[in-house]
C-alpha cells in the first residue's frame, strides 16, 4: 500500500506509528503510571525533551480527569489538562506546540482533538441530558433518550490554483501582515470534495477552475478538521475577492513570493513547496 507523500505531515498518524498505538476507552486496563501528555494551553509539558513518565507530580490539579488513550513506547499514555497559570514542578517545562518535534507535535494534536470531543460531548445535543461512554469506542450514549453520538471530524478542502507558471495565494484579515496561503473551506451539505473545491474557489475568488486533482490530506486538530488537499487549474474569470472572507489575493510566482508563508507543519505549505516551488512541476 502506498499513500500520497502528505501522509508524512505532522498530525497524521504515520508520524507516530512506530511509537504510539491508539487505544479506545476501556480497551486498556491496568494501573501502570506510564507516560503523560500534559496539555497547558497551546503547550505540551515535557521533562527534558520527552514526555513525563511516572506517577503524577504532587499537587497537579487537573481540569479534567486523566484519560488513557493509548500506548507510547509500549507503556500506557494518558492525557490531562493543566491550568494555564499552574506552577510547574521540576523537571517539567512548557514547550509551545510549534516548537515540538514532529512526533510529539502529532501526539499533542491527537490529545487535543480527543479532549475537544470529550468537552463537546458532555451533554446530548438532542435532549441535553448527560451521556455515558459506549466502550470500547470514543462514542457516548445519552442516558435519557438513548441517542448515540460519535466524534465529529469536519472535512475541509484546501486548494492551490495554478495559471501557467503562476499560482493564486490569498490572505484573511485576521492573519499576520504579509502572510498568504491557499483557498480553503468547509464541505457543505450534499457536496463532494471536488464540488466543494469548485464552489469555494468561485465564492471566494470569482474564478472557475478545471482539472481538480487530489494530492493528499492532513488531520488538523484545531479543533477537529480533516484537510483534503487539491491542485486545480485556472479556467476562467477575473479575480474578485469575497470581502467578508479575504482581504487580499493575487497571482504569485517562485521569484515573487509573499513575505510569510504558512508554517512547514501545514498541508498548505506542503502543497506550496511541492507544487509551486519546484518540489514537483507535474502531477498525475
Ligand atoms: Zn438525549
Q: Between 26 and 52, whose confidence is greater?
A: 52
**CA 152 to centroid of ligand 1, rounded, Å:** 17
Give the E-state strand segments of 147-247 in sequence order: 148-149, 154-163, 166-171, 183-186, 208-220, 225-236
Beta bridge partners of 168: 251
pLDDT in tens, 221-275: 999 999 999 999 999 999 999 999 999 999 999 999 999 999 999 999 999 999 9
pLDDT at 37 over 60: yes
- Residue 281: per-residue pLDDT: 43
Q: What's the alpha-carbon Rg for the chain, to the nearest Å?
A: 21
The pLDDT value given to residue 62: 60
Number of C-beta neighbours around residue 283 at 10 A: 12
Give the helix/strand (H/E) hosting 107: helix 102-120
Calculate how far, in angstroms, residue 238's C-alpha sits from the geometric centre of ligand 1: 49
Stronger pLDDT, 2 or 188, i.e. the higher one? 188
Omega of the bond prior to 227 within 30 degrees of 0, cis? Answer: no
Q: How confident is the model at residue 118 (pLDDT cuts 50, 70, 90)?
A: very high
**What's the first-to-final CA gap in the chain, in angstroms?**
18
Lowest mean pLDDT segment, chosen from 21-35, 95-109, 139-153: 21-35
Distance 68 CA to ligand 1 centre (A): 26
pLDDT score, position 64: 57
> Does 131 score more than 50 pLDDT?
yes
Q: What is the pTM of this model?
A: 0.92
- Lowest mean pLDDT of 146-155, 223-232, 274-283, name the range: 274-283
∠ CA(24), CA(25), CA(31), 5° rounding?
Answer: 115
pLDDT at 164 over 50: yes
Ligand 1 centroid, distance to 114 Cα (angstroms)? 21
Which pLDDT band, with edges at 50, 70 and 90, does 2 fall under? confident
How many whole angstroms separate alpha carbon 167 and alpha carbon 224? 28
Q: Give residue 117 CA to ligand 1 midpoint distance, Å.
A: 17
Spacing, Cα 115 to ligand 1 middle (Å): 21
Alpha carbon of 131 to ligand 1 centroid (Å): 8
* Helices and strands per DSSP (H, E), number in the chain: 3, 16
Q: How far is the CA of 142 from the centre of ligand 1 (A)?
A: 5
For 50-61, how does the pLDDT look when each residue is reduced to its tens digit (9 = 90+)?
Answer: 999 998 888 786
Query: What's the 224 CA to ligand 1 centre distance in angstroms?
Result: 23
Query: How remote is the CA of residue 69 from the centroid of ligand 1, in Å?
Result: 25
Amino acid at each position: 500500500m502506498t499513500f500520497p507523500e502528505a501522509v508524512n505531515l505532522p498530525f497524521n498518524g504515520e508520524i507516530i506509528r512506530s511509537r504510539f498505538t491508539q487505544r479506545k476507552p476501556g480497551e486498556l486496563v491496568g494501573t501502570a503510571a506510564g507516560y503523560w501528555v500534559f496539555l497547558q494551553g497551546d503547550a505540551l509539558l515535557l521533562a527534558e525533551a520527552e514526555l513525563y513518565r511516572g506517577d503524577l507530580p504532587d499537587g497537579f490539579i487537573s481540569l479534567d480527569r486523566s484519560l488513557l488513550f493509548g500506548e507510547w513506547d509500549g507503556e500506557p499514555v494518558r492525557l490531562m489538562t493543566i491550568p494555564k497559570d499552574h506552577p510547574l514542578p521540576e523537571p517539567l517545562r512548557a514547550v509551545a506546540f510549534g516548537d515540538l518535534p514532529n512526533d510529539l507535535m502529532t501526539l499533542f494534536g491527537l490529545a487535543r482533538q480527543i479532549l475537544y470531543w470529550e468537552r463537546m460531548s458532555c451533554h446530548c445535543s438532542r435532549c441535553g441530558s448527560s451521556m455515558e461512554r459506549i466502550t470500547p469506542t470514543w462514542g457516548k450514549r445519552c442516558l435519557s433518550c438513548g441517542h448515540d453520538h460519535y466524534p465529529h471530524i469536519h472535512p475541509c478542502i484546501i486548494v492551490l490554483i495554478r495559471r501557467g507558471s503562476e499560482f493564486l495565494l490569498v490572505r484573511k484579515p485576521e492573519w499576520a501582515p504579509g502572510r498568504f496561503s491557499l483557498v480553503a473551506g468547509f464541505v457543505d451539505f450534499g457536496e463532494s470534495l471536488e464540488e466543494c473545491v469548485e464552489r469555494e474557489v468561485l465564492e471566494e475568488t470569482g474564478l472557475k477552475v478545471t482539472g481538480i486533482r487530489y494530492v493528499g490530506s492532513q488531520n488538523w486538530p484545531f479543533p477537529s478538521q480533516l484537510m483534503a488537499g487539491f491542485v486545480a487549474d485556472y479556467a476562467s474569470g477575473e479575480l474578485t475577492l469575497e470581502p467578508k472572507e479575504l482581504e487580499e489575493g493575487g497571482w504569485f510566482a517562485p521569484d515573487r513570493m509573499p513575505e510569510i508563508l504558512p508554517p512547514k507543519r501545514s498541508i498548505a505549505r506542503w502543497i506550496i513547496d511541492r507544487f509551486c516551488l519546484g518540489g514537483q512541476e507535474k502531477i498525475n
